[in-house]
Amino acid sequence: MSDETEKEGVVIDVTPEPEEPELDSAPPASAPPHKSGIGKQAPLIVAVIALVLVAAALIFAYRFTRQATQDLASLNARLSTSLEQQHSLESQLADAEKAVAEQAQRLQTQQQRVDAQDKVIDEARQEFSQQGKMLDQERERMQEREAELRASVADVHKRVGASGTQWMVAEAEYLMRMANNRLTLARDVATARAALLLADQRLRDTGDPGWNDTRRQIARDIARLDNAHLPDIAGISARLSALAEEVPQLKLAGATLGGAAHHAAEKDATTPRAKRSWDTLLDDLWAGFKDTVRIRRNDQPVQAMLPPEQQFFLYQNLRLHLETARLAVARGDDTLYHDSLNTVIAWLNAYFDAADPLTRTMRDGVTELNKANVHPPLPDISQSLQALLLRQKLNADLARPIAPPAEPAQ
């Protein structure tokens, strides 16, 4: 409702009254005031004031009503939100109560299971207690039976005497000791394996099943010997001997005194004496000068030149190192073997012609032999002998008579 809307049934006359002309001079002070115009305008002023008050009241009422409507709508919205939250809380509370009930049910079920398990454990404990008592009684009976058996064995040994298979066991022990000694001292795998096989045959011939554990251990030791990878000593020695025979055919490097003289001698031999004359004298002198003075380019340090009389010792020392490597192979000295071959390789690189095919072949062969291990670790076959000795001790204990148990003091 607009503030400027006129109220129905009320007519307001707003026609201005005619203004009186201004007089040049003021009325005389003695003239009486004009009261008729003010009396006529008083109702109009009251009506305007009332109309303004009514309009203000209507505007205030409209605004109050509008504000009250908005507040009521906000309250309704908050009330709806509160109701939804209340319904949500009630739903959550119901779910929580349901979950608590389910949890209580599961706890009750688990408690029942725990009670049942406790009952089963108690029953098992009682059964174990009974079994323990039965085992104690059985142990006592076994001890009594063992004492009777020991007494019987002792009595049999007294009546029959030493067993007829005792010599077979003694022979098996000797063979096993010999196998250990041959393997440890001479590194003779073949002899050690043959001795173990013979020892196993002797224990088999006894016909006593008590030696089965010892025979199984012998089989394990034989398998260890079969898996041992030993070098071919004979083959390595033969290759070293063949390399030593090829040493005199090696060519020395060019940095020797004998090389230049040998080259000049060969060139003189190729020039026939009949063709030499005063015309070829200058060419012969120039050729001799070139053979005497040579300029070589070498980015490596210049090695000491060997005189011809020392070349013989170089060949002999090289052969001596190869023979030393052969001796190290026979003795099983791995350190001496590799030291000798490393020296041979170093001398081949230092003093002999690297372009010579024979030098390359020998260096490759020595390098390949240097990779071999002439003293590899050997397996331990002493466990079978220990098993045999343990079984012999057990047999001796069984044959020994047992003193009767002392009676308890009363």
Q: What percent of the chain has pLDDT over 90?
A: 14
Neighbouring residues of 297: CB distance < 8 A, sequence distance ≥ 6? none
pLDDT in tens, 386-397: 888 888 888 777
Task: Fill in the DSSP letter of residue 271.
Answer: S
Q: Which of 109, 112, 86 is nearest to 101 (CA)?
A: 109
**Type and span of the H or E element at 176:** helix 166-181
pTM: 0.41
Lowest mean pLDDT among 18-32, 71-85, 174-188, 189-203: 18-32
pLDDT in tens, 341-374: 999 999 888 888 888 889 888 889 888 888 888 8
| The predicted structure's pLDDT at residue 304 | 47
Contact 253, 303 (CB under 8 A): yes
pLDDT in tens, 185-236: 878 888 889 999 999 999 888 888 888 889 999 999 998 888 877 777 888 8
pLDDT above 60 (res 403): no
| The predicted structure's pLDDT at residue 59 | 92
CB atoms inside a 10 Å sphere around CB 258: 15
Task: Fill in the DSSP letter of residue 3.
Answer: T
Question: d(Cα 51, Cα 57) in Å, to the nearest integer?
Answer: 10
| The predicted structure's pLDDT at residue 350 | 86
Contact 259, 337 (CB under 8 A): no
Contact 216, 354 (CB under 8 A): no
**Mean pLDDT value across residues 239-254:** 85
pLDDT in tens, 41-73: 888 888 899 999 999 999 999 999 999 899 899
pLDDT in tens, 100-121: 999 999 999 999 989 888 888 9
∠ CA 284-286-287, rounded to 5°:
65
